[in-house]
């Protein structure tokens, strides 16, 4: 997508509405992750507004975070639970807290926000650098076909239809670059707003290879935070990597 820059795509306007729609899996995710934070600390890549970090912190886990958007990080720091969460502003594939953790985690497709294979590999390597010798790197993503069915390269989905508002999800996928160019188009009586985003979709097998490059291996894989078996019908996966 011409002129799209991930570093500037999550500005103050996006931050203002970032928490408008809860996904409902926060408590299940926190419970799952707390089991791996054996020494009571964890690092979240792309921590956002603390959707997962805050409920995890209430379980006695000291959570640190790396976040690219200062606008979104400000919303986290303004939350009562966020005052004890340390956040570094930077790229999760390169930034460091200069600490080691039994758990590093990355949720809800955010690995896809890194738009080259090299940056995605660097993210795995950065996670490995932050882990204790027996630590775990946990990644949650959807499968690519959850967006783009085989044989299709684009789509238009209706996200919302109201009396004064209509929202469409318009996307195009390039199988060569593996980039999904997407724009959420909102029509209102006041005008049209666009919310563009670009993601690089990768499969579980590609992630496993990235982990190997970073010196890790797949330990476990589930379909969801409830530990449902990952199988042919799965649309998402939670992968646990370690040394």
By mean pLDDT, which of 76-80, 89-93, 94-98, 152-156 is the weakest? 76-80
Q: What average pLDDT does this structure show over 203-226? A: 98
Three-state helix/strand/coil letters over the chain: CCCCCHHHCCCHHHHHCCCCCCCCCHHHHHHHHHCCCCCCEEEEECCCCCCCHHHHHCCCCEEEEEECCHHHHHHHHHCHHHHHCEEEECCCCCCCCCCCEEEEEECCCHHHHCCCHHHHHHHHHHHHHHEEEEEEEEEEEECHHHCCCCCCCEEEEEEEECCCEEEEEEEEEECCCCEEEEEEEEEECCEEEEEEEEEECCCHHHHHHHHHHCCCEEEEEECCCCCCECCCCCCEEEEEEEC
Q: What is the pLDDT of residues 46-75, one digit of tens each?
A: 998 888 999 999 999 999 999 998 888 888
Confidence (pLDDT) at 204: 97
Indicate whether this model's pTM tops 0.85. Answer: yes
Share of the chain above pLDDT 90, in %: 73
């Amino acid at each position: 997508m011409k002129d799209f820059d991930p570093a500037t795509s999550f500005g103050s306007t996006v931050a203002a509405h970032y928490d408008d729609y809860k996904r409902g899996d926060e408590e299940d995710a926190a419970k799952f992750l707390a089991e791996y934070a054996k020494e009571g600390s964890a690092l979240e890549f792309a921590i956002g507004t603390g959707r997962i970090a805050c409920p995890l912190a209430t379980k006695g886990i000291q959570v640190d975070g790396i976040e690219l958007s200062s606008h979104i990080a400000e919303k986290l720091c303004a939350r009562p639970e966020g005052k004890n969460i340390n956040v570094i502003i930077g790229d999760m594939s390169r930034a460091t807290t200069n600490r080691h953790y039994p758990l590093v985690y990355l949720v809800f497709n955010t690995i896809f926000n890194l738009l080259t294979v090299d940056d995605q590999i660097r993210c795995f390597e950065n996670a490995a650098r932050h882990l204790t010798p027996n630590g775990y790197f946990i990644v949650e993503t959807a499968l690519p076909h959850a967006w783009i069915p085989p044989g299709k390269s684009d789509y238009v989905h209706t996200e919302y239809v109201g009396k004064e508002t209509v929202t469409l999800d318009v996307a195009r996928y390039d199988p060569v670059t593996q980039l999904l160019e997407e724009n959420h188009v909102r029509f209102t009586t006041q005008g049209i707003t666009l919310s563009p985003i670009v993601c690089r979709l990768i499969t579980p097998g590609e992630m496993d290879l990235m982990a190997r490059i970073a010196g890790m291996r797949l330990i476990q894989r589930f379909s969801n935070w409830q530990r449902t078996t990952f199988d042919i019908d799965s649309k998402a996966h939670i992968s646990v990597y370690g040394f």
